[in-house]
Structure 1
């Protein structure tokens, strides 16, 4: 665990996760969990008729795996407030290897909580070719060392 209070976050700070290769099993398990058996993901014959020429990963699966990769750092004084600006930029295929890069892009006071502030991490899930496949903003609610004056 790494305790990092609101005051400790630095705009521009970055971290990068390890990689994870996407497999056929990922497609099947995610379809089973989500109920999304859309043919773009699960039907090889149908997928050959699409512009991608093969099955594409569920966007929600890539988001889930991409965010899961970031869970190697646990901060006991922060929690997820939500996600904004999510975009599925490029398709991901079976055999692609992805990692996630996070950059601190914003810190703001929280008007309702003088003992906390909001930190925004810009997330990019990147494939083995260095291409961004998914982008999102992760909003954290982070405890302050000292409550804001108010």
Structure 2
């Protein structure tokens, strides 16, 4: 992991980064089900899913969200922290064996409402695609970032 200070003023709307791919495995799905208690048959019952339109088990949307966010967390910035997520949409299914890639682009910057001289928000659009280039998940990741004047 890389650690470097990037202040609010250092970020530009339009800058983006793209992850390497990560293949979703059966172990990922089973572990996520155990951690969350979500044993819904869409994720766990291969025989039943073979009779459904998808034809096979589908990864939990929350699993793909968690993995995708982790895939964008390679740089540690002591001047920012995650503030939350907006507009989470599970656009398409992810199956065992699918490889996902994540693109994150800064789409907006805003001053903090109560502390505009010391903090700001970055809005990063996160788009997750599978190996066929199909969008499977989108969200906006919000960051709270220190301004240089806060130092």
Normalised by the shorter chain, which TM-score bucket?
Answer: over 0.9
> How far is 1:50 from its partner?
1.8
Structure 1 alignment gaps of length 5 or more: none
**TM value normalised by structure 2:** 0.95
Given the alignment, which residue of 91, 94, 97 partners 2:93?
91
After the TM superposition, which residues 69-88 of structure 1 pair with which residues of structure 2 at under 5 Å, given as runs? 69-88=71-90
Q: Distance in 2 between matches of 1:10 and 1:50?
A: 45
Given the alignment, which residue of 135, 140, 149 partners 1:137?
140
> How far is 1:49 from its partner?
2.1
> How far is 1:111 from its partner?
1.2
CA RMSD across the alignment: 0.9
Given the alignment, which residue of 119, 123, 127 partners 1:124?
127
> How far is 1:28 from its partner?
0.6
Given the alignment, which residue of 104, 125, 128 partners 2:106?
104
User: What does residue 9 of structure 2 align with?
Assistant: 7
> How far is 1:118 from its partner?
0.4
Structure 2 alignment gaps of length 5 or more: none
Give per-residue Cα distances to partners, 1:25-76, cap 9 Å, x unaligned: 0011000000000000000111112211111000000000000111111111
**TM value normalised by structure 1:** 0.95
The alignment of Structure 1 onto Structure 2 pairs a total of residues equal to: 147
